[in-house]
């Protein structure tokens, strides 16, 4: 059974988990007024990508989100030494934006495509496509906040 799901896991890591982790990390860095042109972002994004494998575990709904929030905060603290309370605020803001965006567009998009949630979740390509709107939203947040930080001289 593992052989059947292994390519799907790799596709999910490459198509959804890594881009999502990279953009989340960029957003957290920009909210913390840190440079988003930093190698630390890539290291944190890679660690968070592999932490995303927790989604495959048979755990209660929502627990994986808590694990991902804690891990992103821990990795950010480990690499930046920023204040932990500010890190948690930035991470929670990112996850709140993701949740809000998914609530707003998921059902209309499912209705528009005629797909069921289980179909989308089982297919790594569809899952990545359905994650694209909130990934773009976080990318825009990161770039706009970074631009604002640079204009105001806030970047550390």
Band (pLDDT 50/70/90 cuts) for residue 4 is very low
Query: Which tens digit of pLDDT belongs to each residue from 121-147?
Result: 889 899 999 999 999 999 999 999 999
Are the C-beta atoms of residues 37 and 147 closer than 8 Å to each other? no
Least Cα distance to 12 among 49, 58, 61 occurs for: 49
Separation between Cα atoms, residue 18 and residue 12, nearest integer Å: 8
Burial state string for 34-51 with b = 16 or more CB within 10 A and e = fewer than 16: bebeeebbeebbebbbeb
pLDDT interval class at 37 (50, 70, 90): confident
Share above pLDDT 90 across residues of the chain, in percent, rounded to a whole number: 76
By C-alpha distance, which of 137, 147, 58 is closest to 99?
Answer: 137
Q: Hey, where are the domains in the chain?
A: 2-151
142 and 30 Cβ atoms separated by less than 8 Å: yes
* Contact yes or no for 113/149 (Cβ under 8 A): no
Q: 118 is written with which tokens?
A: 């289980």
Instruction: Please state, in angstroms and rounded to a whole number, the distance separating the CA atoms of residues 137 and 41.
Output: 18
Give the model confidence (pLDDT) of 67-122 as tens digits.
999 999 999 999 999 999 999 999 999 999 999 999 999 999 999 999 998 899 88
């Amino acid at each position: 059974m593992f052989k059947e799901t292994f390519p799907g896991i790799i596709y999910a890591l490459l198509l959804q988990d890594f881009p999502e982790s990279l953009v989340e990390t960029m957003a957290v860095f920009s909210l913390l007024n840190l440079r988003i042109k930093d190698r630390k972002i890539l290291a944190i994004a890679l660690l968070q990508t592999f932490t995303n494998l927790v989604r495959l575990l048979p755990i209660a709904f929502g627990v994986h989100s808590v694990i991902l929030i804690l891990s992103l905060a821990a990795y950010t603290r480990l690499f930046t030494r920023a204040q932990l309370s500010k890190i948690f605020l930035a991470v929670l803001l990112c996850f709140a934006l993701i949740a809000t965006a998914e609530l707003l567009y998921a059902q209309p998009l499912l209705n528009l495509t005629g797909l069921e949630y289980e179909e989308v979740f089982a297919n790594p390509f569809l899952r990545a496509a359905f994650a694209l709107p909130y990934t773009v939203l976080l990318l825009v947040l990161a770039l706009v906040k970074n631009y604002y930080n640079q204009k105001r001289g806030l970047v550390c």
